[in-house]
Amino acid sequence: MLILDINVSGTFLIAREIAKEMHHANVSGSIVLFASMSGHVSNRGINTSAYNASKAAVHQLARSLAAEWGHPQNTFPGSTLSDTNPTASMDPRQVYPPIRVNTISPGHIDTPLSEEARKRGLTDEWAKQNMLGRISMTEEYRAPVLFLLGDGSSYMTGAVSACFIQCDDTSLFKGYQRSIRNQATLKQKVANEML
């Protein structure tokens, strides 16, 4: 499927090439991958199972790459950098600077791609479910990305930074509340019949 190729394979290939360049330049650094809240929750009202699965895969990819590239001994041949490219010239005696890998998980963002959802009234519904009463803007992701790239997060790797606020998560919590109420009603009914 194209969405999996782009979001998972494409993300991996780009991250790998960046890591190779960092190793060849003998520099440490940070890579930030963009995932999505859809890697954590299901989106009601739209059919996005392939997208959701691809973004969950990006979370796991970041954790795995963080483990492989964060420690110098893990970046020798046999790791992801050389397995996927047999011609990679990595000296097993070389100590490579660590590379941190983290993800940002945006929530609903107001972009031109949201237009179809806006026409269907979904963006208004999403805004109602949000503690701030609105969906996010693209510029609100600059500071979290800069934080993950900078020294302030120098001991963070493999982290999923959830940049969505979904307090009144009706898709998850209200169904659970209904289930609990139904169980309580059933228990009360059984108790009344036993009296």
What are phi and psi for residue 136, nearest 5 degrees? -80, 165
Give me the CATH topology for the region 2-164: Rossmann fold (3.40.50)
Given the residues 20, 51, 141, 176, the one annotated as active site: 51
What lies within 8 Å, CB to CB, of 179 at 6+ separation is: none
pLDDT along the chain (195 residues), means of 10: 93 94 90 90 78 94 93 55 48 76 90 88 86 89 92 92 57 39 50 55
What pLDDT shows up at residue 79?
A: 52
Q: Is 176 a catalytic residue?
A: no
Q: Is 51 a catalytic residue?
A: yes
Tokens 């998560």 sit at which residue? Answer: 169
Q: How many beta carbons lie within 10 A of that of residue 103, not counting itself? A: 27
The half-sphere exposure of 192 on its side-chain side, counting CA atoms within 13 A, is: 6
Q: What is the DSSP code (8-state) at residue 171?
A: I
Burial label, 106 (beta-carbon count in 10 A; 0-12, 13-18, 19+): buried
pTM of the model: 0.73
Given the residues 55, 128, 141, 176, the one annotated as active site: 55
What pLDDT shows up at residue 183?
A: 46
What pLDDT shows up at residue 64?
A: 94
> Domain coordinates of the chain in residue numbers?
2-164, 168-195
36, two tokens: 């999505």
